[in-house]
Structure 1
Amino acid sequence: MRIYLIGFMGSGKSHWGHLLSERMTYPFFDLDDVIVQQEGKAITEIFTELGEEEFRRMEKEVLERLTETHPDMILSCGGGTPCFFGNIDYMKEHGKVIWLNTSIDTLVARLMKEKSHRPLLRDIPDAELKAVIIKRLYDRKLYYEQAHLSLPEETLTLEQLQSAIENG
């Protein structure tokens, strides 16, 4: 089974992906990490040098390559992955898509600490971060809501996540 974890940046996709991978003994991939490894550049460098459109093209290629080569896997997708090039439909067709639905306040608290590593947030003044997250989340929610399952991330347990995937 292929499991695609989606949600806004900072929603816990990599955290839960690692735990789920250990529990289910499926290989785990973080889409951004695979792109970084492939390109030999940080995501921020790719965005700066090549632009978001080129990054999204790479993202789609890596998503499809991992899907084609791994019948069982857990993939932590970038926050924008489902929103471009029909990726949400592709993922739904090839596996189970789980939206880790994380509250705005939790996202703000987490992302405030890691803004410098987030190319879409690094230049946002701290006072404006919450408004930017609300706007981006609003724009992406249409895609996130298409997931097979939506789970409240803050109250989630590993047992609940695995059970929802297996039974939901």
Structure 2
Amino acid sequence: MINSHIVLLGYMGCGKTTISSKLETILNLPSIDLDQFIENELKMSISQIFNTKGQIEFRKIENRYLKILLNKKTKSIISLGGGTPCYHNNMDFILECSKNVFFIKTSAEVLSFRLFKEKSKRPIIKSISSISELKDFISKHLFERMIFYSQAHHIIDDNDKGADSVCKKIVSKLI
């Protein structure tokens, strides 16, 4: 029996949404993507929110909806945005609400290849023009965010092993 929400965190492109969806089937728990939840609630894409309200306001909105999801009684699988744990004491709140927090650790090299194809959909990287520039950007971000990501209860090394492999590792560690 799973006694708390399962929270997936990691850099954008690490596969949180895909993994969450697969875990939903395996564990028969609802899966909620925080970014999609925000988009549905506000009837705007994350890019539109960034463009019209700015990053600071987006992080406030994100914090509010994170708290709503983590305070729900029904246990679920929650996949976070890459920056979610890094703002507004979110990581402390996440760790307080869940005993099943997983960091999907993926290298900057793997992430840069995954993300370069879809950078137009990602507000913080859409202006980057080359894979090497993107890899440098991601490496810097990962370094800055690692202090938050590494607080997760479990670190699952992905590096292109695939969502099924990551799901098996997560299921084996659930409390």
Between the aligned partners of 1:20 and 1:71, the Cα distance in structure 2 is 16
Residues 68 and 157 (structure 1 numbering): CA distance in 2 closer, same or farther, change over 3 Å? closer
* CA drift at 1:66: 1.1
Whether 1:160 aligns to 2:165 is no
Counterpart for residue 29 of structure 2: 26
Which of 92, 104, 118 lines up with 2:122 in the alignment? 118
Amino acid of the residue matched to residue 64 of structure 1?
K
* CA drift at 1:134: 0.5
Which of 124, 135, 142 lines up with 2:140 in the alignment? 135
Unpaired segments ≥5 residues, structure 1? none
Whether 1:151 aligns to 2:160 is no
Q: How many residues align?
A: 166
Q: Larger deviation: 67-76 or 87-96?
A: 67-76
Query: Once the two structures are aligned, what percentage of the paired residues are identical?
Result: 36
Between the aligned partners of 2:97 and 2:114, the Cα distance in structure 1 is 31
TM-score under structure 1 normalisation? Answer: 0.95
Structure 2 residue matching 1:123: 3-state secondary structure: coil
Whether 1:35 aligns to 2:44 is no
Structure 2 residue matching 1:9: 3-state secondary structure: coil
Instruction: State the superposition RMSD in angstroms.
Output: 1.1
Unpaired segments ≥5 residues, structure 2? none
Between the aligned partners of 1:132 and 1:159, the Cα distance in structure 2 is 30
Between the aligned partners of 2:129 and 2:71, the Cα distance in structure 1 is 40
TM-score under structure 2 normalisation? Answer: 0.91
Whether 1:82 aligns to 2:85 is yes
Between the aligned partners of 1:70 and 1:17, the Cα distance in structure 2 is 19
Between the aligned partners of 1:70 and 1:76, the Cα distance in structure 2 is 17
Counterpart for residue 9 of structure 1: 12
